[in-house]
Amino acid sequence: MNFPGLDPSWILSHRALYRGGLIQPWNLERCREETQKNAGILVVAPTALGDTVLCTPLLRTLAENLGRERSGFLVKENCRELYETDPHVGNLFTVSGKYRGWLDLRRQILRRNYRIALIANTTEPDLIPWLWHCGIRGFLRYRSRWSPWADWFANRDMMRRPEGSGYATGHAIDNTLAMAEALQLVIKDRQLRLTLPDAQTPAREPVILIHPGASRPRKRWPLDRWIFVARTLLDQRPEARVIVTGSKTEAADAGLLVDALGPRALNRAGQWGLRDLLLEQSKALIFLSGDTGPYHMAVAVNCPTVTLFAPTDRGSSTEACGPKYANPTRHATLEIASFDQDISSLSADSVCHTARTILGG
């Protein structure tokens, strides 16, 4: 339950404690010293699915430099199954809502003595003081955007102000790994990688995966365009079939797409968990979608992708979230020409052409 005035009271009281010197977060030099000792480091990304996948190079860097037992990962509960057996995550912590279960979560984090938090993504301004009460003393934040808690961050000199030319620029992988670089950790690999269920390495199957849904209407390409693309690819690939994926709330639209395609199409929207989808992506010929979390999953298991972007600023564009560091012959993006355009300005012919190029024919 969100009581009136709770959030501003919490935020204002902790800002007052900081100004009064009762809260003194570590500076960058202290964070580096504690990292070289035995400080536990918590990566924080309780936002969207794609944000968590973009953290995998950071998680791998921590494990390789410090050992996985010193790293933790805080994500939403719906992302748990992707990371609970990940060899690079020492401890996994999950949240279900803004206030639900946070007292128990605080006890869990305190028991494991995490001292440094790397804020890869968060939309809750009150999360920073809450982490202080979890024993965190050193805070670093991804560098592309400013924060109302900037004074608390050890790497605030790296963070970009809204009035600066670099605000919201750069790729999410690089901006997140900049926190590891600030701690003087060695980065060996910047590619997205997710561990397959039971470490399987399945053979490719003649399956075209289409994920027409997205978290925001702006990112959803018209359904009739997807039907056109699917029919075109099926005509050119007589051995192939289409599987439409999505959440339970997207099952109805997925059903319309499948009905239009006939017996060579299956509707799996709302039927697969994330690990099921990950396994199917690892076997598929290609994954077609908008800019959504499952697109990042596909890149992380080397499934060829064609992704449609309709960004509102540079921070949600291919510059920030495209398949950087992935094989360019296996991954392609199409993006609207300006931020005020609609995603429908991307033509079905251009998507078909791009998909055929990725498929090699």
Indicate the domain borders of the chain: 21-182, 197-359
Average pLDDT, the chain: 92
128-166 b/e with 16+ CB inside 10 Å = b?
bbbbbebbbbbbbbbbbebbebeebbbbbebbbeeeeee
pLDDT of 201 reads 63
3-state secondary structure of 43: strand
Q: How far apart are CA 40 and CA 27, in angstroms?
A: 16
Q: How far apart are CA 253 and CA 240, in angstroms?
A: 21
Q: Which CATH number does 197-359 carry?
A: 3.40.50.2000
What is the pTM (predicted TM-score) of this model?
Answer: 0.94
Q: What is the mean pLDDT of residues 289-317?
A: 95
pLDDT above 50 (res 102): yes
45 alpha-carbon distance from chain centroid: 8
Which of the four pLDDT bands, split at 50, 70 and 90, describes residue 3? very low
Give the model confidence (pLDDT) of 53-78 as tens digits. Answer: 999 999 999 999 999 999 999 999 99
CATH superfamily of 21-182: Glycogen Phosphorylase B; (3.40.50.2000)
The token pair that represents 248 in the structure block: 């339970």
Give the model confidence (pLDDT) of 103-148 as tens digits. Answer: 899 999 999 989 999 999 887 778 999 999 999 999 999 999 899 9
DSSP one-letter code for 202: P
Q: What is the mean pLDDT of residues 336-353?
A: 95
3-state secondary structure of 243: strand
207-219 b/e with 16+ CB inside 10 Å = b?
bbbbbbbbeeeeb
The token pair that represents 214 in the structure block: 């997205």
pLDDT above 90 (res 202): no
Q: How far apart are CA 193 and CA 88, in angstroms?
A: 11
Non-local CB neighbours of 34 within 8 Å, separated by 6+ positions: 26, 115, 116, 137, 138
Which of the four pLDDT bands, split at 50, 70 and 90, describes residue 98? low
Which of the four pLDDT bands, split at 50, 70 and 90, describes residue 215? confident
Which of the four pLDDT bands, split at 50, 70 and 90, describes residue 1? very low
The reply to whether domains 21-182 and 197-359 share a CATH topology is yes
Share of the chain above pLDDT 90, in %: 81
pLDDT of 200 reads 60
21 alpha-carbon distance from chain centroid: 35
